[in-house]
Amino acid sequence: MYANAYDIVASSMRYFFLLLIIYILLRLVQHSFSEFRAVQQIKKKVRSVSPGYLEALLPEEFLGRRFPLGRENTIGRSKRCNISIPLPSLAPTHAFIYEKKGGLYISDYGSRQGVLLNDERIGRHEEFLYTEDKLQFGGFICVLHLSGEEEDDV
């Protein structure tokens, strides 16, 4: 008698369990969506202000300094550059860092010393930049930090 009653209860509980799990699943998906969208908004906001910054490593006197980046940045010895580094090993305008199609790119402006990306010299064409890329302009070495994460539209 007891076994039968229990059996019936166990049978009916099936629907309860299923409904509960399906509800959890749907809520989960819904919340994940909203959260994803919210985070995207935030990242867009952050990116729109500044794509990132350069954190200097060498020479010693610059160590730890941060240079915030705008949408377009010229880097060089000259005071007219967006990021002005008064070191003789840099060309007056050494390199150009700019945003294009949601990504950050660097190109050599024609310097004698050249631009080193992760210890490899970049050619005349532009190079795509990743967060934590190491950049070297003459005697100035720094690390790039991207804010939020850059979007690629694929």
Partner 1 sequence: MYKWRRVSAAGLLTLIIVFELSAFSLLAFRNSTLDYSALAFGAILVAMLLFQYISLTAIFRHLDRYLLIIANLLVAMGLIIQYRIEAAIAFRQIIWFGIGMLAMVVCILFMRRPNIFRRLNLLILLGCIGLLFALLLVGSEVYGARNWITIGGQNFQPSEFVKVGTVFVLAHWLTNSRDLRGIWPLLFYVFAVVALLVVERDLGAAVLIAGTALIVFYVATGSKSLTLLGLAAGSAGALASYYIFDHVRVRVAIWKNPWATYSGKGYQIAQGLMAIASGGLWGMGLTRGSPKLIPAYHTDYIFAVICEEFGVIMGVCIIAFYLVFIVRGALVALNAPDRFMMLTAFGCTVLITLQSFIIIAGVIKLIPLTGITLPFVSYGGSSIIASMMLLGILEGVAIQGGETLERALKEMAK
Partner 2 sequence: MNTRSNIKGMLVIFSALFIVLSVYLVYILNAYGTRWFSSPYNTRLKSQKNNIIAGDILDRTGRKLATTDSAGDRVYISDTSIRKATSHTVGDNYGQTFGAENFFSKYLLGFEQSIFERITNEISGKRSHGSDVELTIDASLCVAAYENMGEHRGAVIVINYKTGEILACVSKPVFDPKYVADYLSGKRELDKSAMVNRATGGRYTPGSVFKLVTALAAIRYLPGITEREFTCSGPLAFDGKTGAYLENVLLTPQEDAEAKKDSEPGMSGEYRVIRDYNGEYHGSLNLKEAFSKSCNHVFAQLALEVGEKRLKRTAQELGLNDDFLFDDLVADSSSMGHAKKASDLAWLGIGQHTSLVTPLNMCMIAGAVANGGVMMEPKLLLSVKNTMGSNIYLLQPEEYKKSMSETEASTLKAFMVEAVKSGTGRSARINGFAVGGKTGTAETSSGEKEPNAWFVGFVEDEEHPLAVCVVLEEGGSGGKHAAPVAREVLKKAFALGY
Residue of 2, 5, 79, 112 that binds partner 2 (CB under 8 A): 5
The interface with partner 1 within residues 97-116 (CB under 8 A) comprises none
Minimum CB distance to partner 2, residue 11 (Å) = 6
Single out the segment in contact with partner 1 by CB under 8 A; choices: 26-34, 73-81, 86-94, 97-105.
26-34
Minimum CB distance to partner 2, residue 69 (Å) = 19
Q: How many residues bind partner 2 (CB under 8 A)?
A: 10
* Token pair listed for 30: 């819904």
Q: How many residues bind partner 1 (CB under 8 A)?
A: 41
* Token pair listed for 125: 């064409």
**Cα separation of the two ends of the chain:** 64
Rg of the chain over all Cα atoms, to the nearest angstrom:
27
